[in-house]
Structure 1
Amino acid sequence: MNAPDTATPLRVYVVEDDDDLREDIVLLLGNAGFDVRGLPDAPAFYKAHALAPCEVAVLDIGLHGEDGLSLAAQLRASGPVGIVMASARGAVEERIEALRRGADVYMVKPVHIEELAATIRMLGSRVRAVMQPQAPATRPDAAAAAVAPAPAWRLAEGDWVLRDPAGRQLKLTTNERALLASLMGTGGQVVNRDDLLLGVGGDLREADPKRLDVIVSRLRRKARQAGMQLPLHVVRGAGYQFVP
């Protein structure tokens, strides 16, 4: 996704299978100044998002076919995006599950359109701050360079971007961000798999033991494609460590 122009309206997709309700929300959000599109189900969303990624998605939970919870989890793994979950169900357990699956905000229907618009603006501003490219750093003079610390691996942009010592950048998903935050704050110490699973929101009672391996494999592949040599190591029988 290219860095957005902050002068352009936020692109918002509303995924709702009730035709009348979807049309009403699209109309009202359009009047509020958003570039908004209504979609009836997950397949239509995936197609639209692949062609023109949205910055904020408003998802109904009770969709036909793939439900909103599954859609939120898939969308969250794709990169920075604001996710508003809307449902007529308001039990605490359902709110927690939606947040665990990737939603930023859970709203109970009927949703007040002004509250929804304010929530979208807040999430959209956060997403654009993450996606905005950094201004090039000014070149230090010789004296400053002599005392400056050596460049290091670090998390930036609210921990959504990994930077290597050469200045290359890698945008992170929620799971990748949580994994690296757990590892990079230990000074190179080994972190066991259970602690890492908890860090990425796993339930140790139901966790797939291969989940961490999948996250790490995907992260390494992305890093290689970005020209980065990721110093993320597996310590057999113990866990993982991040040692530059």
Structure 2
Amino acid sequence: MLEVLSASSLLFGAGLLPLIFYKGKEHSAHPYFNYVLSFGLSILLGDVFLHLLPEAWLLEATTPDTALMDFVPRSNTTVLLGIVLFFTLDRLLGDVVGYLTVCSNTIDNFLHGLAIAVAFNVSQTTGWLTTAGILLHELPHEVTDYALLAKSGFSRRQVTLAQLWTCFSGILGSITGIIFDKSFCCQAVVLPLTSGIFLYVSLTSLIPSLLQATPKQSIVQTIVVICGLLLTYTVAH
């Protein structure tokens, strides 16, 4: 429980960092920003294929057949549901500023908090790697959200309140995961659902951004991705 609260507190802090450091300059203008995205991509993909999905498949294979199993979708189906869910949210809410942005981020952070709690219930390694993957995605994402809210007419005070609320929703998600930490249904759904979310983020947000790099940058990005995957593999074994 302490590890879950510590990890979700890091997620909470990530949402508040833009309030301290954002000075109006686009974060994407930083020369090393794409390398951070490359490392984030490797952590997300490594977490999916080396931790989350193997644990979900093992859980599915070793759980006795019960009436509950009839109501829980198979892991691969749930991965697709995660991709479709965030595609739908992205299409419905991603291009709308202001309060709809806050709504989207609230749902996003709640699921992240829930994913962290369930991942720690699997193992501390899976928990911290899941937390790292979420943080590496969330840090640039939160800066973008701050800029978007400010551009849509929110005052600094309104942006601060909105960020506090969306960050707190991550804590609520973690508490929900702690309460249902022994629930097979919770683990069997959230592990592959988180995999689908991570795959969607990787394929639609991170990889397209990295493909715009120069040949020299692409070489460095590839090295960073390989190093990140090797790190994830080493931790897994």
Higher strand fraction: Structure 1 or Structure 2? 1
Q: Which has the larger radius of gyration?
A: 1
Where on the TM-score scale, by shorter chain, does this alignment land: which range?
0.3 to 0.5
Higher relative contact order (CA 8 A, sep 6+): 2
TM-score between both structures, scaled by the size of structure 1? 0.33
Higher helix fraction: Structure 1 or Structure 2? 2
TM-score between both structures, scaled by the size of structure 2? 0.34
